[in-house]
Amino acid sequence: MNSVSVSDLSRLLGHPQADVPQSCLEIFKHSDWQYEFIDGQAIDDLVTELLERIRRREFSIVVEGDKTRWLKGWGENLTDFVASKGNLDALAPKYVRPNMPVRLFRRLVQPTDPNFEANWRRVYQEYIFRTYFTDASAIFEFGCGSGMHVGAFAQMFPNKKVTGLDWAEPSVEIVENMRKLNGWNTQGRLFDFYKPDESVEIPEGSVVLTFAALEQISDKPGAFIDFLLRKKPKRVVHLEPIYDWYDPANFIDHLAMRAHETRNFLRELVGTLHKLRDQGKVEILKEHRVEFGSLLHEGYSQLIWRPL
């Protein structure tokens, strides 16, 4: 049986082990990180099943302007959140399912703890938020989805205003209900990545987050990036599946690339930011492939930059 060590955690985070926030380590040490590599006939069967599902296009496909599944999914979270009278546990995305294999260090593994990925998200959230948002004057999450990150921000930084923006109305209602039910300093607002709302004001010193949200805009990140260049936040933190960083020579990576292409997920973000860097318009602060994810994607990789 293998187990994720603190050294492994440092590698996943792309952060020196000695400097990982203590609060992050405290959360990490209270979870079971044991796992087994999926090998032999088991990996053959699993990959065959995934390839067949990709062939049949059983996974959700990105279609510009189609927010049907988000209205349904985040609508369910909204109902649960209001019924629970503001309990953050009700905001866990339905697609993070217990007892599933995960991607780890470019292989597929079966964790011992059924909530392995959910536990990872808590550790990762603590690391990212403490490291990149502590000095923010205000926080904006674009594509805030179920609102779980907005709620975590609001609890972690009660003196900072946290704005959650999404193109699905239930997401906005969730964030608004955080203020009504819990008294948190949150605001919800509609926002479309394809057609950015110029009336959104981003105060000086603000930090922006996207977390598995830009994956939904296929090969058209330009409008949103141009919007951020005009608004000039202090820092932009993208945590996304980055197609460019998969290794086509690795079969598990190749599987992710096939799924990424079939689902019409995010492309062009790295190239867009590199071109802007070469033009002297942005500074790229960190590019790090996080070798952890769900069956088909590494959805936690870090691309962090700031407008110049």
- The predicted model gives 208-229 an average pLDDT of 91
Lowest mean pLDDT among 18-27, 150-159, 233-242, 253-262: 253-262
Q: What is the pLDDT of residues 254-287, one digit of tens each?
A: 999 988 888 888 888 999 999 999 999 999 999 9
d(CA 230, CA 216): 22
Is the pLDDT at 95 greater than 80? The verdict is no
- Please report which confidence band the pLDDT of residue 96 belongs to, taking 50, 70 and 90 as the band edges: confident
d(CA 299, CA 283): 23
Is the pLDDT at 304 greater than 90? The verdict is yes
d(CA 150, CA 17): 27
pLDDT at 60: 64
Q: What is the pLDDT of residues 153-181, one digit of tens each?
A: 999 999 999 999 999 999 999 999 999 99
What does pTM read for this prediction? 0.94
- Please report which confidence band the pLDDT of residue 23 belongs to, taking 50, 70 and 90 as the band edges: very high
- Please report which confidence band the pLDDT of residue 69 belongs to, taking 50, 70 and 90 as the band edges: confident
The answer to whether the CB of 126 falls within 8 A of the CB of 46 is: no
Q: How far is CA 213 from CA 75, 152, 244, 245, 300, in A?
A: 17, 17, 17, 18, 11
Backbone phi, psi, residue 142, to 5°? -95, 130
- For the chain, where are the alpha helices, taking DSSP H only? 6-13, 22-28, 40-55, 68-83, 116-132, 148-156, 169-182, 222-231, 251-263, 269-278
Average pLDDT taken over every residue of the chain: 93
The answer to whether the CB of 92 falls within 8 A of the CB of 18 is: no
- Please report which confidence band the pLDDT of residue 218 belongs to, taking 50, 70 and 90 as the band edges: confident
Q: What is the pLDDT of residues 176-205, one digit of tens each?
A: 999 999 999 999 999 999 999 999 999 999
